[in-house]
């Protein structure tokens, strides 16, 4: 004798489908609700953490503010004790400012000739192979290309009063004379080191 499911196959499929869909919807809704609840809890914990951080910062700022207030109160008490000294300090500050103004004026009125007399008459320098030295005062450019065991150096030299680039094999004691800013100078090679690939030189102001 056939059972009810065999006799009502279509109804059985429909009922089965409805049951499966209903169960799936119920489970999905439960899972979604649970996920939403977990997300809300996570956001709540994050907000609590941020609130605690801001609270800590506010407490620190409040302590700093209280310390500054106490310090200001101490300064006020201190100034109150020496209030008679203020009329003495203010004229002293004014006097010092006037002296500074006088010194600045005296420096600005110095002649270029006196300023040139105050500058050093010579200065020493060093440049290594592969490097270039640029003298800021005169504009002289000295570059070292090679250094050999015989204490000789192949150099490139750009003098301020000469547009041409000078290439020479330099030895200790070699000199070049040039002018810059209406003053005469001499460049002297003082020593050459093969070990350190360095050339020492000296620039003298000619009086």
Smallest Cα–Cα separation from 125: which of 205, 195, 202, 191? 202
Q: Which of 65, 85, 109 is the last residue of a domain?
A: 109
Rounded to two decimals, the pTM is 0.44
Tell me which of 89, 109, 129 is where a domain ends. Answer: 109
Segment 11-44, tens digit of pLDDT? 565 666 676 667 666 656 655 666 666 766 777 7
**CA dihedral of 115, 116, 122, 128, whole degrees rounded to 10:** 90
The total number of structural domains in the chain stands at 2
In whole angstroms, what is the distance from residue 183 CA to residue 173 CA?
22
Tens-digit pLDDT profile for residues 107-159: 665 555 544 455 678 899 999 999 999 999 999 999 999 999 899 999 999 99
Higher pLDDT, 201 or 42: 201
Determine what percent of the chain falls in helix, strand and coil, rounding each to the nearest 5: 55, 25, 20
CA 173, CA 152: separation in Å to the nearest integer? 11
In-domain check, residue 114:
no
Domain carrying residue 190 = 120-206
Among 82, 109, 136, the domain-final residue is 109
């Amino acid at each position: 004798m056939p059972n009810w499911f065999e006799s009502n196959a279509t109804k059985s499929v429909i009922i089965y489908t409805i049951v499966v869909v209903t169960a799936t919807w119920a489970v999905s809704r439960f899972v979604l609700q649970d996920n939403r609840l977990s997300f809300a809890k996570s956001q709540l914990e994050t907000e609590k953490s941020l609130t605690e951080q801001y609270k800590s910062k506010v407490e620190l700022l409040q302590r700093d503010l209280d310390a500054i207030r106490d310090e200001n109160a101490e300064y006020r008490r201190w100034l109150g004790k020496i209030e008679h000294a203020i009329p003495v300090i203010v004229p002293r500050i004014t006097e010092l400012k006037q002296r500074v103004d006088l010194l600045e004026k005296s420096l600005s009125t110095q002649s270029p000739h006196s300023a040139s007399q105050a500058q050093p008459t010579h200065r020493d320098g060093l440049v290594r192979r592969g490097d270039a030295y640029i003298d800021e005062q005169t504009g002289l450019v000295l570059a070292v290309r090679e250094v050999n065991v015989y204490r000789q150096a192949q150099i490139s030299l750009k003098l301020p009063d000469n547009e041409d680039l000078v290439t020479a094999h330099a030895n200790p004691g070699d000199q070049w004379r040039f002018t810059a800013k209406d003053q005469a100078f001499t460049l002297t090679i003082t020593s050459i080191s093969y070990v350190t690939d360095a050339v020492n030189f000296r620039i003298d102001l000619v009086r």
